[in-house]
Structure 1
Amino acid sequence: MADPASYRPSPGEIPKAPGVYRFLDPTGRVIYVGKAKNLAARLANYFQDPAGLHPRTRRMVFTACAVKWVVVASEVEALSLEYAWIKEFAPRFNVMYRDDKSYPYLALTMREKFPRMHITRERKRASTRYFGPYTKVWAIRDTVDLLLRVFPVRTCTNGVFARAHAQGRPCLLGYIDKCSAPCVGKITEEAHRDLANQVGDFLAGKTAPFERKLEADMREAAARLDFEAAAKLRDDLAALRTVNEKNTVVFNDGTDADVFALVADELEAAVQVFHVRGGRIRGERGWVVERVDDSGPGDLMARLLQQVYGDIPEAQRPLRGTRRAARDDARSVDDVVHTATDQVPRDILVSAMPADAAALEQWLGRLRGAGVSIRVPQRGAKRALMETVTANAHDTLRLHKSRRSGDLTQRSQALEELQEALGLASAPLRIECYDISHTQGTHQVGSLVVFEDGAPRKSAYRHFTVRGERGEGASDDTAAMAEVLTRRFRRLQAEEAGEEGIDEDGVALRSGPLDEATGKPRRFSYRPDLVVVDGGLPQVNAARATLTEMGVDIAVIGLAKRLEEVWVADDDYPVILPRTSAALYMLQHVRDEAHRFAITAHRKKRARAMTRSLLDEVDGLGPARQQALLRAFGSVAKMRRADVGELAKTPGIGPRLAENLYELLHRDDASGGAKAATTAQ
């Protein structure tokens, strides 16, 4: 590795002008490309004290051995050149948004003598019209099946077409009227091409003319008493309307917009985009990308827009109102002119305002040939749609992480990496993670989640109500964590020793760690191989001290959120796992699951506290007895009118409990009477 000081340019060499820079490795390969309003100020950031750099950035500057730059006239030119170089060199340290999956499209091969409609996952061939993307293959197959009722375009491969032509006999689709059978001359070349153009126009959004024509033909057939033809036209019309209904209306004003939502954690970012044309959702796509530095949402969003629209040639979209624009525009179901889905729309709605938004708007305006607006929606239908897109992005990131943790090979690799990184005697087959949740010290709840063989064991999850020394909660998170660990491992020690009695949670301890009914070990009797706490070195050392005091010898680590360092008890320096490490992904999943489970339990407890009944204040009056009272009297107001004897007749309510309840219900009356007597005196 090269020392950055060995190739650092002199301060006077770097111009204070807009430009694009690139770092090169010893072989001359470009490893990073960036742009700047001020090259001198930006490059100076890379040659500061390496300890202050993001780990990925620090690795990049030590991998490089040279830096070069090009001065340009404006920020917009810098934006264009940066994207061109990223696309050309594919630098390893740049954020590259790639689809988390390849999406299917519906294609019309207009270059062929007899155009063909088929499903594909590529968009590379010239003279082919593509529609989509669709989210599921089965959805596009349903669409094709419905369209073939009205537009029986050829869908067979060239080999099947040639064989049918040679035999003079069409395939099955030709016999059931889902293909016009051009292979055997049932339709002319010109008529079949016209049919293919009609399919393309319908998929592009020009649907209203076809629906009106089918409806008119249906009424005409019914008028001449040709009910069989009218019924077929009715079914065809229903099929077209079903296809239309798949494109959900979200904006009644016919807005053209791309809606981008970005959700990121410390290691990765997930992006979702909905293409809205003519007020309808015409397609959606998703990406998952590794975060290569500590860039914020604004920088990530700027790079995303740059890559999504970078392949569109400049000035491809003419100004609205020109002859070419009128010819190329598509129409929605209500005949509203809209931009094609593969072009830059007028409105770009984002969840976070991108960095250099003004320069991006100018650049995108050049690509569109008209003005472009980038903004964060604040209210109304656009804000509601943004929340939907954001929810999809959250789900994309969650699924991505769960799929990684769900893969058996990945889990095995993660456990092996953890064993090696932490110096454990064996792979941690059972991992327990603890977290604390509260609201300003109230309603404190601790959570325990369990991962066995790298996968969540949800039946072993537990939550703890943190009581503290005086029953009013712990003084801080460290004390709360100590209480949770003490209660969990005291229970474990009791079960391992075969002790009997009642634990602090009021649960009976059975003799021995085996369940007499099943003969299997109880869930709490399993000893973990690794304990994980949410936090840094102070939290880890406190947890380690608690376990040591109890005589429990189990490895304890903590996962800090800021830089995702893994802290080991009594070590002054953290263990840094690679950002793409399977072990780090697993620890993140464990930590996030503990956090989620703790928050869920805390919210339930807080909700119960906010809706507490007056009856909860009576000692010994649990939920079952409260229900019995409510069944007998119907309401608390009617209980107030009852005497002690009537209350005691309720099943489960004895004389002593009835007296306590009576005193509580009439406490306010007694205080009010005393107050009145004092006033009279």
Structure 2
Amino acid sequence: MKRPAAGTIPDEPGSYQFKDRHGRVIYVGKASSLRQRLSNYFQNPKNLHPRTAQMVETAETVEWTIVRNEVEALMLEYSLIKEHDPRFNVRLRDDKSYPFLAVTADDQWPRAVVMRGRKKKGTRYYGPYAHAYAIRDTLDLLLRSFPIRTCSQNKFNEHERLGRPCLLFHIEKCAGPCVGEIEEMEYRQLVTELCQFLDGDTDEIVDRLEADMREAATSLEFEQAARLRDRLEAVRKAIAKQQMVADKNEDLDVFGIADDELEASVQVFYVRKGRVVGRKGFILDKVEELTPGKMIDRILESMYGEEPVVGVPKQVLVPYEPDDRETYEQWLEMIRGSRVQVRVPQRGDKRSLLETVTRNAKEEFTRHRMRRATDHNTRSRALTELQHALDLPEAPLRIECYDMAHLQGTDYVGSMVVLEDGLPAKREYRRFKVNTVGGEVVGGGSDDYAAMAEVVRRRLQAYLDDRDRPIDERSGPQDEDAPSKQRERKPGKFAYPPQLLLVDGGKGQVSATQRVVEELGLADEIPVAGLAKRFEEVYVPGRSEPIEIARGSEALFMLQRIRDEAHRFANTFHGERRSKRMTVSALDGIPGLGEVRKKKLVKAMGGVNAVKKASLDELQAHSFLPDAVAEAIHTKFHA
């Protein structure tokens, strides 16, 4: 990579983006002084961290955007990372969707429900919880004290129409709003009290229930007093389930980290009003050079960059000091609207709490490594074996495999499946309808080769089109007020080339594919191989004999796995197309001829062929068929 001319890099805060030769953003960073930060990259590569050196070697250009201060640089960096997902920036992986206890506050009759995934406006969320059953256990206790509905809207409407409540009303876990057993204002009060309880305001609710119970007993309303006693007992059980870890007036987010050279396990406990109200964990991929402080930077950006569901607390406890604590505190204060402190507790209860969360992170990291140890090592070994066996310039981190499917030459389809770092990348899978293999395709080897060539050509041509298109033409509609460096869009769906292009087949399929690669001028960039089913032999262009890859080796197993996945994906698509074609009738699409008339007409005339041959008078003779529809049918088959 060529260093920018001396004096051209500004000594001001901003965000910088390294790009590869195709214009793709591969790394995004921020700096209080762009000149000082970028100068660190242009030194002897031996002095750089290996990951940083690899990034600089891959980069072709570097660009930057100047902003007014370090907080704006942080915000711009986050938005660019989210937009471009650069390959050399840290990635936070969360392989599960954590459940929340949600209260649909904007509904006329709000309900409590377990929710996952995308958050909705007008709904209040509490958690996240480690498991859905933890929410249901808590909710089961709370409904005895705050009996709001948990049913779906369809079920609510059904019981409202029937005028009879469901079982939950009879066991006193619902106030029965569907049948008018409670006024709306009184129901809203229950919802408010439930939300207060979940927010941690428990003392006021306990005091009020105790006072109401004593008043009912004094008034000799013993049944009401007993019900209030049961509600109070349920509330106290729910409070006991919420672990008290800090003073009642404290709101904290506590981060614990356990890591090695490649990954880190992060656990966060959400503490509100002194009680743990939720927790979350994820794995961080160290694809860039990370000091402990910079790792905290990345974690804070990921946790608070989107609108936090449980909000930003007054204090954020972390195991290491952020590289630029003051900037991150200013940023969090902008989100919260009041002062936020990011600090490393040194002693006392908060230090003990941080150690507890860190122990959770270590235990989760141990479980993660046990789950992935064999898999991770196996995939790395398989990719290295493939590199050596096929004489590839680098380990094939992106492998694409292609397969064809048809039935006696009809409904030809192709599939493309992708392995990234040895794992299926299903978001990258693609399906192809084959259009030009001899018109009406008939079976035979040459047709298979031509179909494979068409699919590969379309995929690689799309890659070339995206690669060679100027950045300005990729951008689409732009906001003229936005900085020019922010206007770029993500690359197209075929923007990344394979480091190994694998086809399902032997020498014939490999030769046909290699001809396409050579025609498009990609022979030096994209290696081709084929896996033949008969003896699981691997063929490469220019070699008549198969390459010997030891049976039972991890490399051969990986090739078999992606080949079988491509075969499954192609056959699934082929089955869908055949089913659709077989259910299509010649009478479909005629204006005015719906399903009922179609069935009547076919039955009356003795079949579809009779309808196709019928004269206009014969069609108009049927009383259920308007003249305009009869004319449309006749025109379609006699035009």
TM-score calculated relative to the size of structure 2: 0.57
Give the equivalent residue in structure 2 for 1:593: none
**Equivalent residue for 1:376, pick from 322, 325, 344:** 344
1:345 corresponds to? 313
Aligned mates of 1:160, 1:349 — CA distance in 2: 44
Give the Cα–Cα distance (whole angstroms) in 2 for the partners of residues 348 and 300 of structure 1.
Answer: 15
Confirm or deny that 1:97 pairs with 2:65: no
Asked if the contact 1:262–1:301 (Cα under 8 Å) also holds between the matched residues in 2, the reply is no
Match of 2:265 in 1: 270
User: Using the alignment, how far apart are the partners of 2:387 and 2:64 within structure 1?
Assistant: 40
Deviation of residue 123 (structure 1)? 4.7
- In 2, the alpha carbon distance for the partners of 1:206 and 1:377 equals 26
- Asked if residue 19 in structure 1 is aligned to residue 23 in structure 2, the reply is no
Cα distance, 1:244 vs structure 2: 1.3
Which of 95, 99, 106 is matched with 2:101 structurally?
106
1:146 aligned onto 2:130: no
Matches of 1:406 and 1:242 in 2, distance apart?
43
Equivalent residue letter for 2:8: E
Q: Does 1:364 align with 2:359?
A: no
Check conservation: 1:55, 1:293, Cα contact below 8 A: no
Describe the shift of the 1:422–1:29 C-alpha distance in structure 2 as closer, same or farther (beyond 3 A).
closer
Q: SS at the partner of 2:165?
A: coil
Of residues 107, 120, 126 in structure 1, which corresponds to 2:121? 126
Measure how far apart 1:224 and its partner are.
Answer: 4.6
Q: Tell which structure's C-alpha radius of gyration is larger.
A: 1
CA distance in 2, matches of 1:85, 1:417: 31
Deviations 1:180-230, CA, capped at 9 Å, x for gaps: 222222223343333222221221122222212221222233345554443
In the aligned structure 1, how far is the partner of 2:238 from the partner of 2:22? 54
SS of the residue aligned with 1:12?
coil
Counterpart position of 2:282: 287
Q: Give identity over the alignment, percent.
A: 50
Question: Are the equivalent residues in 2 in contact too, given 1:99–1:285 (CA < 8 A)?
Answer: no
Q: Please give the residue correspondences for 1:562-641 in structure 2 after superposition, counting only pairs within 5 Å.
A: none
Question: Structure 1: how far apart are the matches of 2:190 and 2:126?
Answer: 16
Provide the rounded CA distance (Å) in 2 between the counterparts of 1:113 and 1:229: 27
Q: Which residue of 2 aligns with 1:43?
A: 38
User: Which of residues 230, 242, 245 in structure 2 aligns to 1:247?
Assistant: 242
How many angstroms apart in 1 are the aligned matches of 2:188 and 2:216? 26
State the 1:301 CA deviation. 0.4
Q: CA separation of 1:63/1:406 partners in 2, compared to 1, >3 Å: closer, same or farther?
A: closer
Local SS of the residue matching 2:91: coil
- One-letter identity of the residue aligned with 1:158: Q
1:125/1:391 CA distance change after superposition, 3 Å: same
Give the Cα–Cα distance (whole angstroms) in 2 for the partners of residues 373 and 130 of structure 1.
24
Aligned equivalents of 1:300, 1:416: Cα separation in 2 = 30
Q: Does 1:185 align with 2:153?
A: no
Rounded Cα–Cα distance in structure 2 between residues aligned with 1:99 and 1:416: 25
Q: Which residue of 1 aligns with 2:232?
A: 237
Q: Could you tell me whether the CA contact under 8 Å between 1:19 and 1:37 is conserved in 2?
A: yes
TM-aligned CA deviation for residue 35 of structure 1: 0.5
Instruction: Name 1:522's counterpart in structure 2.
Output: none
* Whole-angstrom distance in 2 between the partners of 1:151 and 1:357: 42
Instruction: Give the counterpart of 1:301 among 292, 296, 301.
Output: 296
CA distance in 2, matches of 1:92, 1:398: 26
Corresponding residue of 1:175 = 170
Q: Given the alignment, which residue of 357, 367, 385 partners 2:353?
A: 385
What does the per-residue CA deviation read over 1:135-186, in whole Å, with 9 as the maximum and x for residues that have no partner? 2211110111111112111111122222222322222212222112222222
- The separation in 2 between residues aligned to 1:224 and 1:186, in whole angstroms, is 24
Report what 1:568 is aligned to: none
User: Do residues 32 (structure 1) and 20 (structure 2) align?
Assistant: no
Whole-Å separation in 2 of the counterparts to 1:213 and 1:294 = 55
Q: Could you tell me which residue of structure 1 aligns to residue 512 of structure 2?
A: none
Deviation of 1:253 after TM superposition, in Å, equals 6.2
Question: Please, what is the CA RMSD of the aligned residues?
Answer: 2.6
Matches of 2:289 and 2:83 in 1, distance apart? 24
Matches within 5 A, 1:530-549: none
3-state SS, counterpart of residue 178 of structure 1: coil
Structure 1 residue 60 corresponds to structure 2 residue 28: no
Q: In 1, distance between residues paired with 2:302 and 2:310?
A: 13
Q: Is the 8 A contact 2:200 2:275 kept in 1?
A: no
Cα 1:401–1:105 change in 2 (3 A) is same
- Provide structure 2 residue ranges, at least 5 long, that are not aligned to the other structure: 390-553, 556-639
Distance 1:297 1:75, change over 3 A: same
TM-score (norm 1): 0.54
- Superposition pairs for residues 124-523 of structure 1, below 5 Å? 124-252=119-247, 254-312=249-307, 342-405=310-373, 413=379, 416=382
Name the SS of the counterpart of 1:153 in structure 2.
Answer: coil
Q: In 1, distance between residues paired with 2:58 and 2:388?
A: 27
In the alignment, the residues of structure 1 paired with residue 317 and residue 356 of structure 2 have an alpha-carbon distance, to the nearest angstrom, of 13
1:46-99 CA-to-partner distances (Å, cap 9, x unmatched) read: 233334433333333333322110122222221122122222322222113343
1:414 to 1:304, Cα distance in 2 relative to 1, 3 A: closer
In 2, Cα distance between equivalents of 1:184 and 1:365: 47
2:403 aligned residue: none
Equivalent residue of 1:258, what SS? strand
Structure 2 distance, partners of 1:63, 1:418, is 20
Tell me if the contact between 2:98 and 2:129 (Cα under 8 Å) persists in the aligned partners: yes
Residues paired across the two proteins, number? 391
Q: Which amino acid aligns with 2:253?
A: D
Cα-to-partner distance string for 1:386-431 (whole Å, 9 max, x where unaligned): 1111111111211111122376xx77656645766798xxxxxxxx
Residues 188/225 of structure 1: CA separation in 2 closer, same or farther (3 Å cut): closer
**Structure 1 pair 406–245 and aligned structure 2 pair: CA distance change class (3 A):** farther
Q: Output the CA distance in 2 between the equivalents of 1:28 and 1:422.
A: 30
Q: For residue 292 of structure 1, what is the amino acid of its counterpart?
A: V
Distance in 2, matches of 1:419 and 1:92, equals: 24
Counterpart of 1:76 (choices 59, 71, 76) is 71
User: Quick one: structure 1 residues 197 and 252, their matched pair in 2 at CA, closer, same or farther if it must change by over 3 Å?
Assistant: closer
Matched residue SS, 2:276: strand
Q: Deviations over 1:546-602 (max 9, x none)?
A: xxxxxxxxxxxxxxxxxxxxxxxxxxxxxxxxxxxx99xxxxxxxxxxxxxxxxxxx
What's the CA shift for 1:120?
0.5
Letter in 2 for 1:153: I
- Preserved contact between residue 33 and residue 82 of structure 1 (Cα < 8 Å): yes
Cα distance 1:415–1:74, how it changes in 2: closer, same or farther (>3 A)?
closer
User: What amino acid does structure 2 have at the position aligned with 1:58?
Assistant: A
Amino acid at match of 2:355: E
Q: Which amino acid aligns with 1:257?
A: L
Correspondence 1:10 to 2:5 = yes
Q: Secondary structure at the match of 1:46?
A: coil
CA distance in 2, matches of 1:412, 1:96: 22
